Structures are given as structure tokens and as C-alpha cells.
Amino acid sequence: QKEVEQNSGPLSVPEGAIASLNCTYSDRVSQSFFWYRQYSGKSPELIMSIYSNGDKEDGRFTAQLNKASQYVSLLIRDSQPSDSATYLCAVISDNFNKFYFGSGTKLNVKP
């Protein structure tokens, strides 16, 4: 079992819809959770950080964390074609000595 699991996609949504990206992790004591966006040929770019259970909103992005169920999700409201990219989930263990990235979910937003 991988430490961080993501559906590779592609996930296709129409422009203006909500895109929902999910990530599960195996280390129960993980403490820090991040979502990165990576455009083709570019480096990963941080878009959201979340550290406690619940929702965290930033503009059109909402990160959701449920430590009991060991999943973290990213919602993108009013999806735009410019959101088309691969989204990577990252998890850090509680003693900050293990760093895991998921394999990413490719999102296509169709005009």
C-alpha cells in the first residue's frame, strides 16, 4: 500500500462546475497536508495547506481534512480551463521526518 493514494484520473469537468479531488493516506499520525498544482512541464506549486480537521477555504479552493478517516480532499469551485493541471497531495508525518507525495490526479476542465 502506498503512503498516499490518489486517483490518477483524468477527471473531466465542464467549465463552471465543482471539481472534487481526493487523497487518502496510511500514516495515522500525519500532521501536515498540502495540495500542489503542477502544469505540464512545470514544477509543483503550492495552492493549499491544512493542518487540522475541517474545511479551509481560499478563494475558489477548499481543502477538507478528516484525520479519523485519513483522507484529505480539494474542491475547486467555478472550475476554469486554466485549472487544468495535475494536482498532487502531500503528507508530512507528525515528527516531520517523513514526506510523501501522491502520484497526482490529472484534471481537465472543458470550456
User: Contact with another protein (CB under 8 A): which of 11, 13, 75, 92?
Assistant: 92
Is the Cβ of residue 3 or residue 75 nearer to another protein in the bound state? 3
User: Contact with another protein (CB under 8 A): which of 26, 53, 66, 103?
Assistant: 103
Give the Cβ contact number of residue 26 at 10 Å: 13
User: Phi and psi at residue 82, in whole multiples of 5°?
Assistant: -70, -10
Q: Would you say 46 and 60 are in contact if contact means Cβ atoms under 8 Å apart?
A: no
Pattern 10-49, another protein, x by CB under 8 A: ---------------------xx-x-------xxxxx--x
Strand partners, 76: 19, 61
> Is residue 53 near another protein by the rule CB under 8 A?
no
Q: Which of 57, 60, 62, 58 is nearest to 77 (CA)?
A: 60
Contacts with another protein by CB under 8 A lie at 31-32, 34, 42-46, 49, 51, 88, 90, 92, 95-97, 99-104
